[in-house]
Structure 1
């Protein structure tokens, strides 16, 4: 049985998609593989994000400026970062706008294992209270220019997500 059916594999032909992964994931995850399978004529850029939020945001802003993606797709933590890449069409999948609080409530402190292989070979990382504060600082800038980008952002929420609950917050800024 086929896992996917699609009618328009050329939809993004010749276009660039920047995929921004979620917490403890990597640019080599299953979503990236699926995007490349479903849209073989698109270029899918999928960096491994640094753990430090300001470093991750700087990497993404630099990539957006230099690579000029036609579309940014972010999932969970990556969707939180993607929201702040203003001026580009973006799809935010279950964005974790309150990642620090989510991690704190769900035993996210301490040593965490990556869910997917990373290009740097790292297999784990440490989440400290200081890192949570850094996530709070970076995420405090979400929605700063939302009023300018109303037609560039699409929120996609799973009804069975048990960790991230930011639909109402998203709707406040993108009605």
Structure 2
């Protein structure tokens, strides 16, 4: 089984969550890259990876924040399991205030987040009624004290889905060990 980790806005494809995934699934089974800032290019790259892996072996997507939004879209499009952590369910709205100059907090790279990126993000927001088709493949994990995205709102949005809320924590998600422990009981997720 291969795992594609999809990082969030202004983040990168390395860090604590990736390290824990590698410990759990095996170093060689976790793919995690720094995605382009342009969401259309990021999705295009992720689709390329998925197409080249999914026919060879089972595949699992794990995404956080904006990466959670990407995971929702890609899980729906390719009908593959997705672990969604503190997701942005409406990235075209959530990121409106971020248009303009940005600095990636992990890489220190400076770039511009453009208004037209929001238009593309709107196109990949799948209505909850459509997501019902992959309901058994989406697993939502939330930190209750997420300071950027309202975890209660997200839980309500996904009320008919598998949702696990951990007390405390924050937007960066402090419960990766508990999430992985929870996955152990879900063979259908672990083996795609």
**TM-score, scaled relative to structure 2:** 0.70
Q: CA RMSD in A?
A: 2.3
In structure 2, distance between residues paired with 1:110 and 1:151: 38
Aligned with 2:84: secondary structure? Answer: strand
**Equivalent residue for 1:79, pick from 57, 68, 71:** 68
Distance in 2, Cα, partners of 1:49 & 1:167: 27
Compute the displacement of 1:125 (Å). Answer: 1.7
The residue number in structure 2 matching 1:113 is 103
Distance 1:114 1:142, change over 3 A: farther
User: Which residue does 1:158 correspond to in 2?
Assistant: 143
More helix by share: 2
* Structure-1 residue corresponding to 2:185: none
The Cα shift of 1:70 comes to 2.4
| Alignment partner, residue 103 of structure 1 | 95
Provide closer, same or farther for how the CA distance between residues 43 and 53 of structure 1 changes in structure 2, counting only shifts above 3 A.
Answer: same
CA deviation after TM superposition for structure 1 residue 39, in Å: 3.6
1:50 equivalent to 2:36? Answer yes
3-state SS of 1:149 partner? helix
CA distance 1:83–1:47, change in 2 (3 Å): same
1:169 aligned onto 2:157: yes
Q: Per the alignment, in what secondary structure is the counterpart of residue 81 of structure 1?
A: helix
Tell me, yes or no, if structure 1 residue 70 matches structure 2 residue 56: no
- How far 1:143 moved relative to its partner? 4.4
Q: Give the match for residue 129 of structure 1.
A: 115
For structure 1, which runs of at least 5 residues remain unmatched after alignment? 1-14
The 1:145–1:65 alpha-carbon spacing in structure 2 relative to 1, beyond 3 Å, is farther
Q: 2:131 matched to 1:146?
A: yes
2:46 maps to which residue? 60
Q: Secondary structure at the match of 2:140?
A: strand
Change (3 A) 1:124 1:144: farther
1:93 and 2:85 aligned: yes
Aligned to 1:7: none
**Cα deviations by residue, 1:46-74 (Å, 9 ceiling, x for unpaired):** 12222222221222222112112521111
> Relative to 1, partners in 2 of residues 1:59 and 1:144: Cα closer, same or farther, differing over 3 Å?
farther
* Residue of structure 2 equivalent to 1:32: 18
Q: TM-score, normalised by structure 1?
A: 0.76
Secondary structure of residue in 2 paired with 1:157: strand
CA contact (8 A) 1:112 1:125 kept: yes
